[in-house]
Structure 1
Amino acid sequence: MAGSLAFAGAAESEPVALSPLFVTANRTAEAAELMPFSNETFTSEAVRGSPNVTVDGLLREMPGFSLFRRSDSLVANPSTQGVSLRGLGPSGASRSLILLDGVPLIDPFGGWVLWSKVPRESLARIEIVPGAGGTAWGNAALGGVIQLFTEPAVGSRQRFAARAGSYQTLDLEAQFTEPVGAGTLQLLGRMLSTDGYETVAEEQRGPIDVPASSRARWATMRWRQPVGDGVTATLTVRRFAESRGNGTPYTRNTSDETFASLALAGQPSTRFQWNATAYGQQQDFTSTFSAVNATRTAETPASHQFAVPADTVGLAWVGEWAHDSAARWNDRGDELGGANRGRGTGVPPVGLAQAGMSRGTGVPPVGFAGTNSPDHGAAAAGASEVGARGGRASDEARTVFGFDFRDVRGETREDSAYVDGAFTRRRFAGGRQSMAGAFVLHRRALAPDVRASLGLRADGWLETDGHRRDFLRGEPAGDVAFGRRDGLELSPSAGVAWTPKSNLMGYSFMPPHLGESNPLGYSLAGRGTRAVRLHASVQQAFRRPTLNELYRAFRVGNVITDGNPALRTENVTSGEIGATVTAGRALPTAPRSTDRRDQEIPPVNRGRLTLGVTGFWNELRDSVANVTIASGPVTLPGIGFVPAGGEARRKHNLDRTRVRGVTLEAAWTFTDALRFEAEYLFNDARVTRAGVAPWLIGRRLAQVPEQSATAGVSWRRGRWTLSPRVRWMGQQFEDDNNRLPLAAATVIDVAVSATLSRSAEVFASAENLFDHRVETGRAASGLVSVGTPRLLLVGFRVWR
């Protein structure tokens, strides 16, 4: 949160202004200080400097981020990798929209996220916007939006990184970007593998338990080229394959994907810009499940998902119209304001730029390629002179509008009922889901220090070809066709940000090695004593249940959960209000030579303290939940036999769920080499109405801790950087009845690196340094699953 101002050889009365950094939650570039909702940003330096192997592990530095379970995606089953922000009903299907270069990353059939698809070394930045985004993005942005941006295909760059360590873990990633003729070719690739670790508590393990392992690999080819007057095209092709062992000899899963997209971006005038993306995806998934005996000495095959094909096509177009000339920038330095939050956490005070874009120099108010395009960074490059005139576009009115379409066809094909050494039942279940929507967002200044936004979106959805076909020993045993279903959803939003004038002048940036800023950004001259920012926003959003939730039954251990083709659409009304105060004084510092990217590191503030508070409230209607309907041993229609110690659950809509809480944040920059930051989340997530299961009223949502917190220190001396982090997770419940508690846990992660030259460094990391036990699951039988033990890695990184 703390900002950084510097004198940089300029007089106090003549600050040198840079363009502010922007975030893109509304599908176009918007200054962070003008946004009416919370947002957090991680830069490429923050990602590469993280002690975590996986990107979802890095994002846990934000207490409001969680997967369905506490398990890291390194070895977790993909169906448990759905994302929740601020505890808005964690489940296998994400209730937050995850995008990679503007295209949904969530599984088209199941709604979970394959985090192993995400690059680590090649990420330019990550933007997290909890509680907003429904108007701009539509379906699935119920709890917010997470956008992951890879570095654009611009210029000439090469990079290679390798790390290895505990449990035979090996991570290799490479990037090659080079101009070729009239265009630019970019090649990206990663291989991540681990022999893994046992996921059953040590005192309960038996001979049948083996380490949960994973092997993932992907390659991406991107070609970028101008194709007309002011229009740039980017073609992307990706191949992905993964296999995982799920903790016993029989249980495994595989994923396979082919993806292609074409993105266009243009700016026909200084007042109008547009971007468009078309994409297609073919995917398959397989998985096996088993029943393990009480002594954990043997397992029996329970089901075999031998194929889950899913095909997706999508199209999006977004335009932005500037009502006033882009040249109308305010020249009053005291309008800029500024304090820059650590790693971009929370809502900025005046001038908060969150975190920097990789190799970027700010983002212009017009000319940004948009979040549907991989050229988002390219459009920003070389455009900083737009912002260098000083001031902010506080007097500009802008309208963003667009439409998108997405069509998914998927089917699960699986065998079950294992008798006498063979499966006796087979089921095909699936359908088709189509969605189309259009939106408009308008933002303008209501006063010199007040900026408001207003938006509306309409989405239509259609579900057809819903079916469930059963076979018994090869003979038809049932054929159910579910009727056509459709609906219309509206997603309005409104917000306001107030940034009163203060003595704090100019935008400011933290050093890139702290993971907070534009690596090309320089601090501004100025003096500061205090800056204040207030914001408030409300929105409505929706999520349509996935094909997996509608039609498929699944099994985890001895817990069997059935789908429900009658599920209704989830809707949420949410709001938040927040304030941030920054106090301190900017002091000049001696310049340092260069950072790991051969770019000058700007000086920072010393003794600057930033405090922030945000309160939020969500009223979730018809949330999809796994409702326990029986305990084993029992045989139920559609579910089959549930063994002793197991549970039968079915997906149902809960009438009302309330999620409310508060986030507290603090950051203190002691010196230009030492910084502390912390964040605390209190989250009260409870069922308030449940006609289908009235006994759940008043109970806490499963997998949501009431309290969580993180804290970290960044320290740099010479060529060395040290970054310890601590995460605390309060008690939470495994089940909807709140009978299966998961104990609170504390995890300490540490990363250390040393620069060897202008283009090389070595590093080491430790996840869960003190090997604390993290409970990730608890069965009715008492079986406890555990998360990542101590994981030690060393590696090196070279670039050019």
Structure 2
Amino acid sequence: MVSRIVIAAALFALPVSVAAQEVDVTDPEQDVIIVRGEGLPETPAAPAYSSVELDRETIVTTASGRLEDALSNIAGFQQFRRSDSRSANPSAQGATLRALGGNATSRALILLDGVPVADPFFGYIPFSAIAPERLESIRVTRGGGSGPFGAGALAGTIELASADAMTLGPLTASALANFRGDTELSSSVAPRIGDGYAVVHGRWDRGDGFFTTPEDQRAPASSRANFDSWSAGGRIVQRLGSDLELQGRILAFEDNRTLRFDGADSSSEGQDVSLRAVSRGPWQVDALAYAQWRNFTNVVISSTRFVRVLDQKDTPSTGLGGKLELRPPVGDDHTLRFGVDYRRNEGELFEDAFSAFTGSLRENRFAGGETTDLGLFVEHDWQLGALTLTGGLRADHYTIANGFYRARDADGATVRDDSFADQAGWETTWRAGALYDLDEAARLRGALYSGFRLPTLNELYRPFVVFPVVTQANAELEPERLEGWEVGFDLLPLDGVSLAATYFDNDVEGAIANVTLAENLRQRRNLDAISAQGLELAAAVDRGAFGLNATMVFTAAEVIGSGFAEPLDGNRPPQTPSFAASLTASYDFAEGALASATLRHVGEQFEDDRETDVLPAATTLDLYAQMPLVAQLALVGRVENLLDEAIVTRNSGGAIDLGTPRTVWLGLRWGY
């Protein structure tokens, strides 16, 4: 890890040394040049695809102070489970949209300053590593057709944009604690450097957490959901010449959790580095390169004998990639973008299996492989007065290679030694859309799209156990493919009031799911399809001090299955509600005081593919308040789940896990 940090530091030193002498920002006789620290602007036709944007105030005023909580303001966003990054297993935190279900792998593409953040091996999102207070905005585009974003945007794209120095200010800091003794500490400094700025940030969350097991199901071995996570990093943005901007970013994080039972410990850690060059001249250019190193460990405890049965002791993985996008000058009414992107994921699993009766070692297991994706894309927007048209084409060449699974018994004798056949192929996807402005207050839009997602190394090669259920990997999985369409409208009936509605129809052919084969035995398989149709509604009010944001989604989703999947035909995909809604009302008082309340509802879901275990509907109410004290110091109060709703996050044959109970936080913030 140290060597990786040194390499990243060298990247940051380069732009600083080049530009540090160009402008003295303390000299009042010189103009201070404000650099943006972001990518190229959205194209004119971007609103043709159903999208929602969260501003900074919404992001930093959640009751939990966590990124996934902010994203939950958009109805239809979901993780595999309802737990957040304090009480979920990290490998279960995949993100998806539009009720397309999942198997803990992300079907939505999440980007931080243009860089994919999903774990290279598992595909989960390290939510605890991305502190909301470091962000400027979040743009969520629902629906497939990744176009220039990169492969993997099957259910949509979530773009996270870092806050710049002007937004953050020279110094921010916060310290909060709740009544259980859990704490949250965060700080950043953002000095001006040369012709640009730097941001250095850190965050530390720790606590004993709460019991996820209901009181009537607890055993002496039951544990609170302990958590201890930190993240630290930096970002530097410098202007080089009249149009060129260089952006560098580094991040390191570690997250440790204990779930359900003493000794059921998991950990995830990572180091990321990226370098980006953005030119805003006549020929606009966005060039990006990044590297990621991740690791994951997990200990599985028997739920009947409460002893260790599996130690996933090491899962190192690497993600390498980059993107080059060009926008030539083709006239005021046209926006043309084309380019290439690449990603390579490589990882291995090392784990030990133990007897639940004797505690002795039964097997050593090793698995891994690599995947690559090289994408070529082109997209064109054409403005014709009130009508804007857009169309894009993408071609991806992928490989799945060097897959293996080996197992040795306690004496070192080989039990299995499998090498899997390599796969390679081309996938062509497309998207097209149209916008028509009826007048200044009304707009119609429609879009068609297709997309694809490669199976992750985890889905291909790593079996896992949530005792007593065993889920097998499947090296013969094929990519998922989506086709869909949507129509909608946006209205501005009054000043400060907006309304939007979107009807969508999406089908995922070859959807990868955990399919039940026998009692306590599942395997990852390609289903015929998952079909989802739905209606998304949104409303926003911004009338002076008062604000309101509401979203809701009604979805009819079902599995299309034949052969081995025939028993699942017509079932709703696991972990998929038919209705979800979020409503946030806020009021900004004088002198920087503010208060908000968020009401959310998630409908009934099924835990499993056979629809035997139900997760009941849940309604929660969260509160946030901030009161200035002196200068930039403010008192902050937060309440999660005020009504203390029982949120069932897992139901395995009646064995229940619960989400966050009523939790009250109090603390101080400086500089927000």
Is TM-score (shorter-chain normalized) higher than 0.5? yes
Partner of 2:9: none
The corresponding residue for 1:276 is 287
Change (3 A) 1:262 1:154: farther
- Work out the CA distance in 1 between the residues paired with 2:645 and 2:199: 41
Distance 1:715 1:224, change over 3 A: closer
Match of 1:264 among 264, 267, 277: 277
Tell me the amino acid that sits aligned with residue 716 of structure 1: D
The one of 168, 173, 188 aligned to 2:181: 168
CA positional deviation for 1:86 = 1.3
Distance 1:475 1:129, change over 3 A: same
Q: Residue by residue, what CA displacement relative to the aligned partner does 1:518-551 show, whole Å, maximum 9, x if unpaired?
A: xxxxxxxxxxxxx211110011000000000000
Map 1:745-784; keep pairs closer than 5 Å: 745-757=618-630, 759-780=632-653, 782-784=654-656
- Residue 208 of structure 1 aligns with which residue? 221
5 Å-filtered alignment, 1:690-705, equals 690-705=562-577
Residue 220 of structure 1 contacts residue 239 of structure 1 at CA under 8 Å; is this kept in 2?
yes
- Tell me the CA shift for residue 229 of structure 1: 5.7
1:420 is displaced (CA, Å) by: 2.4
Q: The residue matched to 1:30 in structure 2 has which SS?
A: coil
The equivalent residue for 2:358 is: 420
Secondary structure at 1:499 match in 2: strand
- The higher-RCO structure (CA 8 Å, 6+ apart) is 1
Give the letter for the 2:550 counterpart: A
Partner amino acid, structure 2, of 1:239 = A
Aligned to 2:141: 129
Shift of 1:172: 1.3
SS in 1 for 2:439: coil
| Corresponding residue number in structure 2 for 1:453 | 390
Count of paired positions: 632
Deviations 1:262-296 (A, max 9, x none): 111223x4x31102111112221111102111xxx
* 1:467 aligns to 2:404 (yes or no): yes
> Which of 73, 89, 103 is 1:61 aligned to?
73
Mapped to 1, the partners of 2:166 and 2:540 lie a distance apart of 34
Between the aligned partners of 1:147 and 1:70, the Cα distance in structure 2 is 22
Q: Which amino acid aligns with 1:497?
A: L
Q: 1:491 aligns with which of 424, 429, 448?
A: 429
The answer as to whether partners of 1:655 and 1:691 remain within 8 angstroms in 2 is no
- Report what 1:556 is aligned to: 466
Unpaired segments ≥5 residues, structure 2:
1-35
SS at match of 2:192: strand
2-structure distance, mates of 1:43, 1:559? 42
The corresponding residue for 1:625 is 513
Deviation at 1:152, TM superposition (A): 3.2
CA distance in 2: counterparts of 1:139 and 1:79, whole angstroms: 21
Shift of the 760–36 alpha-carbon distance from structure 1 to 2, 3 Å rule, reads same
Q: Is the 8 A contact 1:621 1:654 kept in 2?
A: yes
Deviation at 1:771, TM superposition (A): 0.5
Structure 2: distance between partners of 1:702 and 1:32: 37
1:401 corresponds to 2:274: no
Letter paired with 1:422: S
Indicate if the aligned counterparts of 1:275 and 1:319 stay in contact, CA closer than 8 A: yes
State the alpha-carbon separation in 2 of the partners of residues 442 and 182 from structure 1.
33
1:711 match: 583
Aligned residue runs from structure 1 range 370-769, under 5 A: 396-418=333-355, 420-445=358-383, 447-473=384-410, 474-502=412-440, 531-584=441-494, 586=495, 605=496, 608=497, 610-631=498-519, 647-668=520-541, 671-719=543-591, 720-757=593-630, 759-769=632-642
1:31-430 superposed matches below 5 A: 35-152=47-164, 157-181=170-194, 184-228=197-241, 230-267=243-280, 269=281, 271-293=282-304, 298-325=305-332, 396-418=333-355, 420-430=358-368
Asked if the contact 2:45–2:390 (Cα under 8 Å) also holds between the matched residues in 1, the reply is no
Separation in structure 1 between the aligned mates of residue 545 and residue 239 of structure 2, nearest angstrom: 43
Amino-acid identity (%): 31
Per-residue deviation, 1:728: 1.0
Q: What is the TM-score normalised by the length of structure 1? A: 0.76
Aligned-residue offset at 1:630? 1.1
Letter in 2 for 1:547: L
SS at match of 2:226: strand
CA distance in 2 between counterparts of 1:304 and 1:122 reads 35
Cα offset, 1:181, TM superposition: 4.6
Residue 73 of structure 1: SS of its match in structure 2? coil
Superposed displacement of residue 648, structure 1 = 1.0
Look up the equivalent residue of 1:45 and give its one-letter code: E
Opposite residue 504 of structure 2, the aligned amino acid is: F
Question: Is residue 89–residue 623 contact of structure 1 (8 Å, CA) maintained in 2?
Answer: no
Q: 1:464 & 1:399 partners in 2: Cα distance? A: 35
Distance in 1, Cα, partners of 2:164 & 2:634: 23
Deviations 1:670-721 (A, max 9, x none): x523344432211111012333210100111110011112222212332432
Question: What 5-or-longer segments of structure 1 have no aligned partner?
Answer: 1-21, 326-395, 503-530, 587-604, 632-646
Secondary structure of residue in 1 paired with 2:380? strand
Cα pair 2:278 2:287 within 8 Å, conserved? yes
Q: Distance in 1 between matches of 2:424 and 2:190?
A: 45
**Whole-angstrom distance in 1 between the partners of 2:540 and 2:451:** 32
| Post-superposition CA distance 1:343-373 (Å, at most 9, x none) | xxxxxxxxxxxxxxxxxxxxxxxxxxxxxxx
Is the contact between residue 656 and residue 690 of structure 1 (CA under 8 Å) also seen in structure 2? no
Displacement after TM superposition at 1:228 (Å): 4.9
AA matched with 1:627: V
CA deviation vs aligned residue, 1:288-339 (integer Å, no higher than 9, x gap): 102111xxxx4021210110010121121111123115xxxxxxxxxxxxxx
Change (3 A) 1:100 1:667: closer
Paired AA for residue 70 in structure 1: R
SS at match of 2:509: strand
In structure 2, do the counterparts of structure 1 residues 124 and 29 end up closer, same or farther at CA, with 3 Å as the change threshold? Answer: same
After superposition, the Cα gap between the structure-2 partners of 1:261 and 1:667, relative to the gap in structure 1 and judged at 3 Å, is closer
Residues 154 and 184 in structure 1, CA contact (< 8 A), matched pair in contact too? no
TM-score of the aligned structures, taking structure 2 as reference length:
0.91
User: Matches of 2:201 and 2:393 in 1, distance apart?
Assistant: 37
CA distance in 1, matches of 2:237, 2:547: 39
Are the aligned partners of 1:543 and 1:570 in contact in 2 as well (CA < 8 Å)? yes
> C-alpha distance in 2, partners of 1:416/1:128?
41
CA distance in 2, matches of 1:184, 1:731: 47
Q: Is 2:144–2:482's contact at 8 Å kept on the other side of the alignment? A: no
State the Cα distance separating 1:475 from its structure 2 match: 2.1
Q: Distance in 1 between matches of 2:539 and 2:370?
A: 47
Offset of residue 150 of structure 1: 1.2
What amino acid maps onto 1:124 in structure 2? E
Residues 693/319 of structure 1: CA separation in 2 closer, same or farther (3 Å cut): same
